[in-house]
Chain A
């Protein structure tokens, strides 16, 4: 509280001064109105979540940087420097302020410099209002948020064993049939011997089978027909399944669980797969992205330190001391070192498109506005990445309004063009489409074309060229 009193004193002094020196408005007004008071808590919460929450907690716990509980009492420097410290940490440090220097010495080595935040002094006041009076955080709420508990996650099956059982049964059946036939022959011979008839010819199994088939022609024909039909159907299905990888769930070098990250901890898909919005690749996050959280979160809920340890091994991080290695094996202080020769994590690619297909995530996510789930299913309830089946995705329509129901297997060309034929484009959504629309309206043939397109009262991706070969193949 002593600090606060000093601040109030300072504020009083400031108020006095502001009456006399009106020209120094900017800095002085800040002193005049304390940064610790009169902030808007709701706005502060929004700002905090947008700018700070990826590293700081409002509690005393450490996420990727020190927790902010009690900051008002801790802060040992001026309000202006607090604002500057947030807006430009290096700049604040350059002022040579003693308290700031102590912060730098204590924290920067461990957590690195905070990145500069584009917030105004008023924003900081709002954030501080929120930090000082955070609404009660319901820690236990994770249990009923609809996430699959990690213990409930299905174990990843490595191989389908039914084929093996089928083969074993078949072999056993054959053995029984052959021995039964041997017993049958022995018995027949015994009867013949007793009745004085000659012994049965000692035929091989094949010859006997042929004889049996000859005697049961109708049954054998029906069975044969059935087998051929069965073969044709199975063969057709097998061929149609070439290149279909629904359910493909390769084992990964790190047992990453989407459910824990996305569902329980509410990390947005694009926090890690951000390039889906910028590039054709959704991308697998680089290890330094993992470190944004795992610098602080050193123990996982299912695999403990084992799996997270693999990240540390790749990037060169010592969880004991919380520091990175540099190339010489020493502990460095300046964040991930380029020179560390860790083995990168070699993930197994799940969604493999053939080389001759050009697919762009940003086209679909940014322009088309598709949800990730439309193609990938509810990855957030799953463990590692897998290819969701189209049937499964169709069951998610209620959970994710706006999903487009499709019928062809995922990641096949039929599936792509089916969607391009169903998905519609809102011409008013962008000036680009409006321009295209205007061109059609202004042209005689364009008008005809437009009428044809609008027969079903919507403009599909196909009608805008979504079925053109060189949309995807070049």
Chain B
């Protein structure tokens, strides 16, 4: 029987659809792409068949494999003419001076094979100390965004054409203005004066962040213009009202290194600092007493201080705790008398007049405040305002900008931009096509400061010198040289400087002038003559000022504009090292945000917790109808009812080429785009929000509106926890009275630094009972065989004084640059993959404690949860944290490939070429200081816009003595072993023992307050040994028993007791 069962190929077959019937007739259905492709006749005539293709593939693969076995030939190209002072492999150091319009520091520039790679302070002959911005500025030299030559009308040009165009413009009628930052160089001043004289131009100065009120007050006060010279070192009580003098206010790089001289507890004469401020600043976080003040009350605090000191009883209308805080400060000031010092940060003439009057009332004029006409920050805001008005009227024929970028940082930036478009000829000497330069007719780029000859005079009889450490990389021309050329008196930049100081100088005497040569070696010389005397106070009538300050009314929400330690005024926005250095207070990297108090955020329903997946709420801040949206950040210590926004962000709002790292990047490393298709700036520019007060910008707004939006924004912070949560062995802190009462006790005995003990199950104290009283010192327990480091050979170690550490982060950046630490960008930082070898942990005090929990009947676990929250106005501790180089290191025991081992000199060594990346060590490290190298930062596209080693020019900054680590290894602080090796080699070559202080890690060298001391613990005479023996020194997490070679020194806060 025939099988009539039928199988269908599908439902179409069963139902015999039309399409199926159509297809059934065709064995090879048409309309298929494959069919078309195969039917391509040209393929059959191709000479390369499929088999040939496979053969070629196979051969190429084999060839590639074999070729990979062959070591590539490495070229070695010596100098043709070797410069006499260069020996390949040996670093040269040159004394120079950094000045960017505000930061002013004598530095030493380290060069290798003619490349500047590191900047440190000139500690032997210099004044002040390099801060984080100065350290990082070496990156700017190698910025590939730098202008590579003169530009005319937006395209590359030649110097002849630019000079000719300028000469043409100068022949026109109208105001001709040279607008610069504060010029401190006598030579540059001379060239500008010459230029102005020849062309009938005028010279105006403008500072990025105006400090002009204090100068004006000084002029009224003593009759001569000039920035007062403050002596923070000899002041015994300092009161700051909104002046972040440790971070960004005026000559902070100098003040910080001076103030710390009076902050040594061992001297028994520790100075005291009261801070009144709105936003938690570095100064506030280091203050002994910090009081939160609304911006509108800054003047009233000064008035009340004056009232209390002058005895007028004037309280400025203040009351309650604020008045008490002011009176406490006044009490200390009065006690200090001539050694008291009051500085006010608010750029308000009336406030500065009152501050000056307080110092006079204290008798501090001539002691801690000297009026001898320092040249610093001489910007004239009123003249600039007039210039902007004239530009808009079309009265300005030519404008030359040098060292200033008003289109970005002027309070009238919008008016300046419209005015600039009306100026027939404008020129900028900026090295980058910044917001102003890009809008100018011509760009005549100045050398980078590392390429220029400079002379600088901040005041007195000292002239600081700057010398080029590299040939100009591009076709740039020193500004002084340009001005002289435009004045028709062409002279080289070098001759210009020499001639300023010796009019009889000729090039024949170029090398034979030993005085000049030794001045250049030291980085400065004295002009001779006497230091100008401190001017005598004429007396101020401050009654009108007091009346006005008292009448200031605050709004519902007030805004303080502040500067961040890392970004300053924003001139280095394109510097990836600075962007990645966390803000010393918030620990946020790469971003601008609105700082808010917890209470305000909670009442508005904003996120107060920022973490990898917890994004910040975006708020809309409106000033004068102009809204800006920024993420809100919960800042402990922020005055309730106020917000703070940092200046220095929002660079490049027109997509100007100011450096790849200046713009926000997305998760894949590309630039985020604005609506107009331009790269998106990081944060917002709030310079325009400064309130104009008597013609000068005051960086606060007394009435703003803050609205909640439904947007969220990721913020990348390196530290998201705020408190130590009752862990007593991380940070040790005491107050000055307690310190003094036990200052002579042996190490481990004082109540504020007791040896840690662990309870044991044996009768230690012999009372017959085994209980909690039976305990032994941590050192009695050990899992490890001891390493022979104590007393044998070297034992490298470090002490970190928490009393003097201000958290300024200069060490973080110095470490970053010295050790080629990769920059990883915001997205990676947010994922906690930041690579910093050293970080500064910032801990806030909490109101809560287990004792309080017990009193109030709150459970232990709930109490710990409450301890996570910092106080509303917390005391702050900055704790630098890097590899502790434990003698009994837990990381070493767990490494399966012995990639991390202990050296006989006490170093915890990390051998990258052995590491296979198991990360056991990182997991076993109690200090969390080992960083895993997740990516090929030198090549992966995610880091194209931020990592210096991805730019063929910027990578020249890398330190040739330190490996650039490959992907997949753990890296960590090596205690700058390359420097240790160098120091040992130098000693061996000299045939002499190592002199204490000659070997220093990058962080120790960079520390402006000398909080970090590095040296040989086995050298009994060394500073580090003395510090380690000091009774304030302790090991972090001593109970873990890992015996670090790094010692911390108990923080001493100059307060009466912990409660005050």
A-side residues, CB < 8 A to B, are 242, 245, 250, 275, 278-281, 283-289, 314-315, 336, 338, 340, 342, 344-349, 352, 354-356, 358, 360, 362-363, 366-367, 429-433, 435-436, 439-440, 442-446, 449, 464-465, 468-471, 473-474
Q: Chain B at the A interface: mostly helix, strand, loop or mixed?
A: loop
Are the C-beta atoms of A474 and B974 separated by less than 8 Å? yes
Partner of A288, one of B69, B80, B903, B977: B80
**B991, A443: Cβ atoms closer than 8 Å:** no
Measured between alpha carbons, how far is A340 from B984 in the docked complex, in Å? 41
* Residue pair B80, A315 in contact (C-beta under 8 Å): yes
A440 and B793 in contact, given A250-B73, A286-B80 (Cβ under 8 angstroms): yes
Given contacts A435-B993, A440-B793, contact A470 B909 (CB under 8 A): yes
Say yes or no: A347-B75 contact (C-beta < 8 A), given A366-B989, A473-B912. yes
Give chain A residues whose Cβ lies under 8 Å from the Cβ of B914.
Answer: 469
Chain B residues, Cβ within 8 Å of A279: 87-90
Contact with A along B945-976 (1 / 0, CB 8 A): 00000000000000001111000000000100
Distance between B494 CB and nearest chain A CB, rounded to angstroms = 15
Contacts of B904 in A (CB 8 A): 465, 468
- B80, A314: Cβ atoms closer than 8 Å: yes
Q: Can you sample 15 A-B contacts with CB below 8 Å?
A: A275-B87, A286-B78, A286-B81, A344-B80, A347-B75, A432-B988, A439-B791, A446-B788, A446-B792, A449-B792, A468-B901, A469-B914, A470-B910, A474-B961, A474-B981
Contact of B71 among A245, A314, A340, A465 (CB under 8 A): A245
Distance between Cα atoms of A360 and B903 in the complex (Å)? 19
**Are A283 and B78 neighbours in the complex by a CB distance under 8 Å?**
yes
Additional A-B contacts beyond A284-B76, A345-B77, A469-B903 (13; CB < 8 A): A275-B87, A279-B90, A280-B89, A283-B89, A286-B79, A287-B80, A288-B81, A289-B82, A314-B80, A362-B985, A431-B993, A446-B791, A469-B911
The chain B residue sitting closest to A245, CB to CB, is B71
Nearest CB of chain A from residue B786's CB, rounded to whole Å: 8
Bound-state Cα–Cα, A352 to B72, Å: 10
- B977 pairs with A470, CB closer than 8 A: yes
B901 and chain A: residue at smallest CB distance: A469
Given A431-B993, A468-B909: A344 and B793 interface contact (C-beta under 8 Å): no
Would you call B514 an interface residue if the criterion is a C-beta within 8 Å of the partner chain's C-beta atoms? Answer: no
| In the complex, B578 has a CB within 8 A of chain A | no
A465 lies within 8 A of B793 (CB): yes
Contact residues, B29-64 vs A (CB, 8 A): none
Within 8 A of A (CB), among B901-957: 901, 903-905, 907, 909-914
Q: Which of B69, B88, B994 contacts A283 (CB 8 A)?
A: B88
Question: Considering the chains assembled together, what is the distance between the CA atoms of A449 and B914 in angstroms?
Answer: 28
**Measured CA separation A354–B909 after assembly (Å):** 19
CA A442 to CA B88, docked complex, whole Å? 40
Instruction: State in angstroms the CA–CA spacing of A360 and B982 once bound together.
Output: 10
Q: Which residues of B contact A449 (CB under 8 A)?
A: 788, 792
Name A368's closest neighbour in chain B (CB-CB).
B988
Question: A443 CB to closest chain B CB, in angstroms?
Answer: 3
Contacts of B88 in A (CB 8 A): 275, 279, 281, 283
Contact A349 B985 (CB under 8 A): no
Q: Does any Cβ of A come within 8 Å of B987's Cβ?
A: yes
Q: Closest residue of chain A to B980, judged by CB?
A: A470
Residues of chain B within 8 A of A347, CB atoms compared: 75-78
Chain A residues near B993 (CB-CB < 8 A): 431-432, 435
Contacts of A471 in B (CB 8 A): 981
A278 to B987, CA, bound (A): 13
Chain B contacts for A336, CB-based, 8 A: 80-81
**A355-B963 contact in complex given A336-B81, A367-B989, C-beta closer than 8 Å:** yes
Tell me if B81 and A474 are in contact (CB < 8 A): no
Chain A residue, CB-CB nearest to B991: A430
Q: Which residues of B contact A443 (CB under 8 A)?
A: 790-792
- Find out whether the CB atom of B82 lies under 8 angstroms from the CB atom of A348: no
**Which of B69, B78, B912 has a CB less than 8 Å from the CB of A356?**
B912
The residues of B with any CB-CB pair to A shorter than 8 Å are 69, 71, 73-82, 87-90, 788, 790-794, 901, 903-905, 907, 909-914, 961-964, 974, 977-978, 981, 984-985, 987-994, 1018
A349 engages B76 (CB within 8 Å): yes
- Complex Cα spacing A85 to B80, Å: 29
Q: Which residue of B is nearest A243, CB measured?
A: B71
Question: Nearest chain B CB to A234's CB is how many angstroms away?
Answer: 15
Q: Are A349 and B74 in contact (CB under 8 A)?
A: yes
Residues of A within 8 A of B89 (CB): 275, 279-281, 283
Please, which residue of chain A has its CB at the minimum distance from the CB of B794?
Answer: A436
> B81 contacts which chain A residues (CB < 8 A)?
286-288, 315, 336, 338
User: How far in angstroms is the closest Cβ of chain A from B979?
Assistant: 10
In the complex, chain B residues whose CB is within 8 Å of the CB of A245: 71
Residues in A neighbouring B901, C-beta threshold 8 A = 468-469
Question: Residues of B contacting A433 with CB < 8 Å?
Answer: 988
B79 partner residues in chain A, CB cutoff 8 A: 286-288, 344
Considering the complex, give the chain A residue whose CB is closest to the CB of B911.
A469
A356–B965 Cα distance when bound, in Å, is: 9
Complex Cα distance, B511 from A132, in Å, reads 36
Residues of B within 8 A of A250 (CB): 73
Contact check, A346 vs B1018: say whether CB atoms are below 8 A apart: no
Contacting pair A356 B994 (CB below 8 A): no
Q: A446 — which chain B residues lie within 8 A by C-beta?
A: 788, 791-792
Q: Which of B79, B87, B792, B904 has the most CB of A within 10 A?
A: B792
A367–B981 alpha-carbon span in the complex (Å):
13
CB-based contact B989/A362 at 8 Å? yes
Contact between B791 and A348, CB atoms less than 8 A apart = no
Contacts of B77 in A (CB 8 A): 344-347
| B537 nearest CB across to chain A (Å) | 57
Assembly CA distance A156 to B990 (angstroms): 42
Question: Which A residues are CB-close (under 8 A) to B791?
Answer: 439-440, 442-446
Which chain B residue lies CB-closest to A429?
A: B991
Is the pair A432, B80 in contact by a Cβ cutoff of 8 Å?
A: no
Closest chain-A Cβ to B958's Cβ sits at a distance in Å of 12
CB pair A356–B963 under 8 Å, yes or no, is: yes
B788 lies within 8 A of A445 (CB): yes
For A429, what are the chain B residues with a Cβ–Cβ distance below 8 Å?
991
Instruction: Determine which of B78, B909, B961, B978 lies in contact with A284 in the assembled complex, contact meaning CB atoms within 8 Å.
Output: B78
Q: Chain B residues with Cβ under 8 A from A287's Cβ?
A: 78-81
Q: Is the CB of A432 within 8 A of B76?
A: no
A245 to B76, CA, bound (A): 17
**Residue of chain A at shortest CB distance from B899:** A469
A286-B964 Cα distance, complex, nearest whole Å: 28
List of A residues within 8 angstroms of B788 by Cβ: 445-446, 449
CA distance A436 to B909 in the complex (A): 21
Complex Cα distance A204/B78, Å?
63
A439-B903 in contact given A286-B79, A469-B911 (Cβ < 8 Å) = no
Give the 9 A-B residue pairs with the shortest CB-CB distance, closest first: A443-B791, A279-B89, A286-B82, A430-B991, A435-B993, A286-B79, A349-B76, A349-B74, A470-B909
Residues of B within 8 A of A314 (CB): 80
Q: Is the CB of A469 within 8 A of B988?
A: no
Contact of A439 with B90 in the complex, beta carbons under 8 Å: no
A36 to chain B, nearest CB (A): 32
Q: Given A362-B985, A430-B991, A436-B793: A342 and B80 within 8 A (CB)?
A: yes
Q: B907 to chain A: closest CB distance in Å?
A: 6
- The reply to whether B977 and A474 contact each other, CB–CB distance below 8 Å, is yes
Chain B residues lying within 8 Å of A340, measured Cβ to Cβ, are 80
> How long is the Cα–Cα vector from A360 to B985 in the complex, in angstroms?
9
Compute how far the CA of A443 lies from the CA of B913 in the bound complex, rounded to whole angstroms.
35
Complex interface: chain B residues within 8 A of A342 (CB): 80
Min Cβ gap B686→A in Å is: 44
State how many angstroms separate the Cβ of B156 from the closest Cβ of chain A: 22
B992/A432 in contact, CB under 8 A:
yes
* Smallest Cβ-Cβ distance to B69: which chain A residue: A242
Inter-chain contact B90/A278, CB cutoff 8 Å: yes
Q: Which of B910, B985, B992 contacts A367 (CB 8 A)?
A: B985
Q: Which of B78, B793, B962, B992 contacts A474 (CB 8 A)?
A: B962
Q: Give A439 to B1021 CA distance when docked, in angstroms.
A: 13
